């Protein structure tokens, strides 16, 4: 069974950079003692403690303050709940009980939760729980549809295990769950193909469009995420 991988996708108009870190599961225990995070830290001129308001965007501030956001992106959980829990705990996203830790600002799940393993239902329910816990704690979970979600949505089940279908209660029950059931409804409400993450609150919440009329050092301070297997012609 493929292991989950931690990966970060940065997309700009001229550059797509993929950092892929397949964690060696047998070293997770020791690696957890020295977790590595991708973080963004930038000094900006702010006039308010939290960096909100127009002054932060238009250079009207006069006090320099550091501002840091901690972002963890994980993809391809592929029906493997035990290893998914190990990876997210290693990265500081969850605690030893599998609950939101509060140690990161954004957790980006870049798709492919489904297929290849038997823990599909458990993983999607867990993502829903983490999304609610993060929101209550001031954090954010961004969820994406990978190519395997799209494959299942259009009826391509070539990577579905018979044992995984059994966890749904059969083929018909699985079809209902992925369309009009809990997973399908969560896809519609909480999942996107791509996302844009502004790196400062003055730029707006996730998926705020870039304003081309704004010309300052902060206006381009954002990351975009997309699953590596998602083709450009997906709707």
- pLDDT recorded at residue 232: 61
**Residue 183 falls within a domain, yes or no?**
no
**Residue 176 falls within a domain, yes or no?**
no
- The count of structural domains within the chain is 1
Q: Provide the residue range defining the domain that includes 215.
A: 5-159+189-226
Q: How far apart are CA 8 and CA 198, in angstroms?
A: 15
**Residue 180 falls within a domain, yes or no?**
no
**Residue 234 falls within a domain, yes or no?**
no
- Give the residues of the chain that fall short of pLDDT 50: 1-59, 235
- pLDDT recorded at residue 155: 95
Question: Collapsing DSSP states into helix, strand and coil, what is residue 85?
Answer: helix
Q: How far apart are CA 77 and CA 116, in angstroms?
A: 9
- pLDDT recorded at residue 173: 98
Q: How far apart are CA 27 and CA 219, in angstroms?
A: 40
**Residue 179 falls within a domain, yes or no?**
no
Q: How far is CA 95 from CA 67, 108, 226, in A?
A: 25, 17, 26
- pLDDT recorded at residue 65: 64
List Cβ neighbours of 129 (8 Å cut-off, separation of 6 or more).
99
Cα 27 versus chain centre, distance = 24
- pLDDT recorded at residue 231: 64
**Residue 209 falls within a domain, yes or no?**
yes
Q: What is the pTM of this model?
A: 0.73
**Residue 79 falls within a domain, yes or no?**
yes
Residue 63, exposed/middle/buried by CB under 10 A (0-12, 13-18, 19+)? exposed
**Residue 144 falls within a domain, yes or no?**
yes
């Amino acid at each position: 069974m493929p292991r989950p991988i931690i990966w970060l996708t940065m997309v700009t108009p001229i550059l797509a950079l993929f950092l892929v870190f397949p964690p060696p599961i047998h070293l997770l225990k020791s690696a957890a003692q020295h977790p590595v995070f991708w973080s963004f830290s930038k000094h900006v001129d702010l006039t308010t403690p939290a960096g909100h308001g127009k002054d932060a965007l238009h250079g009207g501030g006069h006090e320099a303050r550091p501002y840091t956001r901690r972002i963890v992106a994980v993809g391809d959980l592929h029906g493997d709940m035990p290893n998914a829990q190990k990876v997210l705990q290693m990265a500081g996203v969850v605690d030893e009980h599998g609950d939101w830790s509060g140690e990161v600002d954004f957790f980006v799940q870049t798709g492919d939760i489904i297929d290849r393993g038997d823990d599909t239902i458990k993983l999607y329910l867990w993502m829903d729980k983490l999304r609610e816990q993060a929101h209550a704690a001031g954090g954010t979970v961004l969820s994406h549809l990978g190519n395997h979600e799209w494959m299942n949505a259009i009826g391509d089940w070539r990577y579905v295990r018979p044992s995984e279908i059994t966890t749904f209660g059969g083929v018909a029950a699985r079809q209902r769950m992925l369309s009009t059931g809990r997973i399908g409804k969560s896809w519609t409400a909480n999942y996107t193909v791509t996302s844009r993450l502004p790196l400062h609150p003055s730029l707006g919440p996730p998926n705020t469009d870039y304003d081309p009329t704004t010309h300052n050092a902060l206006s381009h301070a954002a990351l975009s995420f997309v699953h590596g297997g998602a083709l450009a012609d997906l709707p």
